[in-house]
Structure 1
C-alpha cells in the first residue's frame, strides 16, 4: 500500500498527509470485511484517490478523506463511517422509536447490534446481526426493518426486501438461488447483494416460503456468504439480516407476554417459541436472534393514530397556508377503531387517517384556495366527519 501511494505521488503528483496509509489499512479492516489484504486496502486507496481527483485534485489527501470516501461509496451513516463520531445506544433507540411505537425490547435489541458494529465488536465470520422478528401482524416488525435501513443507509428504500410468499412454490429456490445447466440463471439474492458494501436485508413472512428456501439461507446466516447455482458468490458479512414471521402470533393475545403460565403450559412467549421449533429446524433457529414483538396496547394505538394525524398536519397543503389542525376526541376514537384490528394490528391506521381526514380536508382546500391562517377543527358528528375553519 505504501508503494502504491508512493507511485501515485510520483506519477500523478498526488500529495498524501501523514497517516493516510495507516488509515486505509484500518478502514479496510473494519469496513471491507469480505476481502483480504492487501487487495482490499489497494482497492480502497484507489477509490480514495479517484474521488479526491474528481473533487479537489490540488489538495492533499488526508486521513479523513478515507472515511469520507467510504461514506460516499457505501451510503453508510456518518456516525458509523467516521470513527471519531460518537454514537450512543440512547440515540439509536430514540431514532428508531420515532417510527416504531410500543416495542422497546425489540428496539433495544436492534440498537445493540448497531452499537456493536460501531464498536467493531461483531463476529468476524458472520453477518453483523441476524434477527427473527416474531409477533402478531401489524405491530411494527417490517417498519423496524425500514427504520433501521433509514438510520444505517439514509433511506428506507435502501432496504433489500423479499416477500417470501413469492417463493412458496417448488420454483421458489430457483428464483432466489438461480439455476445451473443449459438454462443457467443467476440467483436474485446474490445478484442483489453484489455491489452493496453494506445492506439491511428483509425476508418478510418467512413461513410462506418453500421449506427448501430455509436450507438455502443457512450458509448466508452461518458463514456470511452465499454462492448461487450459477457459481457467483456474494458476501453478507456487512449485512443485517432480518426475517419476520407470524408463526404463533395469535398466542400473544391470549395473555400478556411473559406473565405466568396457563393450563396449556408456559407463557405466550414460551409457547410461541415452541411453535417456532415445530416449524423451523434447530440449526436454522440457532443462527438467529429471536426478537419478540408485543401486541399493541390501547395507549400505543392512540399514539400511532396521533402520530399519523401529526404527519398529515405537516403536509404542504396545510403548511404553506399556515393552517393548524385540531382533531376531536370523538374523531380520534373513530380513527383508532378503523385503524386497528387485533388480527391485523395497526396496518390500516394510515388508511383510516386518509379516508376520515385527508379526503374531507382536501375538499375544503380545493374549494377554497384562498383560505389562509385558519384553525381547522375536525369532529365526528352523526356518523361523519365535520370540518370547521376558524
Structure 2
C-alpha cells in the first residue's frame, strides 16, 4: 500500500504532511512520532542557551564528558560505550564495524534494521511475530534464525507493538548467541518509558555476554530528536570496531551539552514522565477500544491498534490529516495489515482531541472522547 506521509519510512514527517494536507508543519498535532510529551527537561534548555557560544569550536570527538557521566550512571567503564548521532548511527556503526553478511530481524519491527542492513550489503532474514503473542516471535523461532545469521536485531520494547520479551528469554538468547557466534543487538530505544521495576534488560549483566550489544536513545525520552543523540553498550572489542568506522564529529557539540544536562536532570523529570505516560496510555487505550479499535497491550510510549472496519490506515490517516492530526500507518510493517496504525502517547488535551475527532469521523460518540478534553470542530488545516 502506498503511504500518504511515511515517504521516508518514519513518523514525525510534518513537512510531508503539510505538503499533503496543507497548512503549517508546526501546527499539526503529531501522534506519529514517539517523543516525551513533556518536552525536554528545563535543565536541558538552560544548558543549551548557556552553551550556544560553543558553536564556535569543534565538539569533542571522543565525547569524553558525556561518556564519563554515562559511565557513572551505568557502572561501566567508558570503553564499553560508543556515542552516536542518535540510535540510528549506533545501528549503522554496528553494521559497518562488524560487517555481518547475514542479518536477522523479528517482524514486525523497526524498519531501519532491514533498511540499514541492505544499505551496507547484508542479506536480511526474518521470523514473524504472532498476533496471539502480541506480535512477539516464538523464542524457538528466534533461536533458529540465530543459527542462520551473523547478527540479529531485537527491539526491547519492540516498535511498533511496544512489548517486551521476558528477561529470562533475553538471557536464553544471549547464551544462544555465544553458541552460534551471532551478535545479538538489543534495541532499548524506548525502555526508559517503562518503570525501572518492570524493565526487562540485559544491561545489569552485560559483561557476562560478550556477543550482546545494547542500543539506547536519548532523543525519545528527553525529547531532543532534532539534536540526535544515542549510545551503544558492549564489550570493548566490539565498541572499538564500531568507533573506528565513525565519522569524526558526527555528534555535534550542542547534542553533547544536551546529553550531559539530561544525565544531570535528576529523578523528578523521570518520575513525572512515568506518571503521565502510564496514565495516558491507559486512557488512550480505553478510548480507542470504545471506538472499536483492537489494541495491542504494550508497555512503551505508543500504542499499536487495528482500526474498526471498514477503516484502513490510509483512510483514517487522510481523514485525520485533513483535520490537523497525524498518526502512523503500520500497514507496511511485515505481518501487519491495512488496518494497523500506531499512536504516540501524549497529554490529556491532545488525546482528547484525537479521540473526539476520531469519534466524529467514525460517527461514534463516546463518553471517553468527550470527557478526554474538548471536541474537534472538524476544521481542516488548509
Could you state the TM-score of these two structures normalised by the residue count of structure 2?
0.28
- The structure with the larger Rg is 1
Task: Please state which structure has a larger fraction of its residues in helix.
Answer: 1
Could you state the TM-score of these two structures normalised by the residue count of structure 1?
0.28
